[in-house]
Amino acid sequence: MASSSRNWYKRWSTKEEREGLTWGMVIDGTQFYEAFLKIGCKIDETDIVCEVGSGYGRIFDTFSRKFSFRRWYMMEINPERCERLRQKYKNDSRVVVLCQNVDFLELPEKFDVGISTLTFKHLYPDCSTALFNVSRYMNKGGFFVFDIIISDKDRIAFEEANIINYYAKDTLKEFINLAGLVIEEEGVVDYPVGPRNLYRLGKRTLSTSILKRNELNRKIISLQRQCYVLEDQIVRFYNVFKGIRESLPDWVMRRIMRVLQISW
């Protein structure tokens, strides 16, 4: 897990061709824009927008043709990609590029509309800290729209240089509630590789003491989820190992165990 998380950070914070961000193909923000409208969202000319995980600017390119707004904060973890974004939009005074990790979010002002696409599923170990930070910088009456993968249970898929989080719906709802947010609308984004769940979140008014208590509960639930995911991975590994063991002669397994110094 530790190795995978280091590879994750290295992948997203170092050089990468833009096609690698979206399944090896260049796509625009059309699918997200259409889903955005279907759940009743819009952007007004006085709104401040915060986009988490701007990538190569595909969402801004689509939305800036459809809406007017006061300012658009692009938050991106990759320094080199941030520089490309600055160069790309240097003539648009409304755009501010911030090289940041959403888990350590620091904005110069609060936002009215928050957007994140194809980002929260990659946050490790989960998106609970990001949701807390989003809530902290959201104006009263504002909203945050993001896509995520909902599954029948919590699990994490570890790949060579990638992490994909799958959330049980109840777990995600708990993270949202603890962050002082509430689900206002639900929808689906139809991406080229398949649909993703879409949520529009509003902000609840909570006292400082409740938020502090919620932060502690968030950490507990996050840790519980990590333990559950680890247990599930151990079971998966055991079942694979059991299948291999049953398919090999005993003398082969004894030799393997001897090399691994495990009693047979």
Residue 5 has pLDDT above 70, yes or no: no
Strand partners, 146: 116, 199
Q: Any residues with CB less than 8 A from the CB of 138 and at least 6 apart, and which?
A: 110, 111, 114, 144, 181, 203
Question: Is 253 a domain residue?
Answer: no
pLDDT in tens, 77-121: 999 999 999 999 999 999 999 999 999 999 999 999 999 999 999
Q: How would residue 258 be classed by pLDDT, with cut points 50, 70 and 90?
A: confident
pLDDT in tens, 206-246: 888 998 899 999 999 999 888 877 877 676 666 666 666 67
Quick one: 27 exposed, middle or buried, by C-beta within 10 A (0-12, 13-18, 19+)?
A: middle
Question: Is 227 a domain residue?
Answer: no
Residue 170 has pLDDT above 90, yes or no: yes
**CA atoms of 144 and 26, how far apart (whole Å):** 25
Give residue 3's pLDDT.
47
Q: How would residue 249 be classed by pLDDT, with cut points 50, 70 and 90?
A: confident
Give residue 250's pLDDT.
74
Question: Is 148 a domain residue?
Answer: yes
**CATH code at position 197:** 3.40.50.150
Give residue 38's pLDDT.
97
Give residue 253's pLDDT.
67
Q: What's the one-letter identity of residue 160? A: E
Q: What's the one-letter identity of residue 44? A: D
pLDDT in tens, 27-63: 789 999 999 999 999 999 999 999 999 998 999 999 9
164-177 average pLDDT score: 95
Give residue 263's pLDDT.
47
Mind spelling out the 3-state secondary structure of the chain?
A: CHHHHHHHHHHHHCCCCHHHHCCCCCCCCHHHHHHHHHCCCCCCCCCEEEEECCCCCHHHHHHCCCCCCCEEEEEECCHHHHHHHHHHCCCCCCEEEEECCHHHCCCCCCEEEEEECCCHHHCCCCCHHHHHHHHHHEEEEEEEEEEECEECCCEEEEECCEEEEEEEHHHHHHHHHHCCEEEEEEEEEEECCEEEEEEEEEECCCCHHHHHHHHHHHHHHHHHHHHHHHHHHHHHHHHHHHHHHHHCCHHHHHHHHHHHCCCC
Question: Is 187 a domain residue?
Answer: yes
118-142 average pLDDT score: 95
Average pLDDT along the chain: 86
Q: How would residue 161 be classed by pLDDT, with cut points 50, 70 and 90?
A: low
This prediction's pTM: 0.82
Question: Is 167 a domain residue?
Answer: yes
**CA atoms of 231 and 180, how far apart (whole Å):** 29
| Total count of domains within the chain | 1
Give residue 73's pLDDT.
98
Give residue 193's pLDDT.
81
Give residue 230's pLDDT.
80
Question: Is 117 a domain residue?
Answer: yes
Residue 248 has pLDDT above 60, yes or no: yes
Question: Is 19 a domain residue?
Answer: yes
Question: Is 220 a domain residue?
Answer: no
Question: Whole domain around residue 152: which residue ranges?
Answer: 2-206
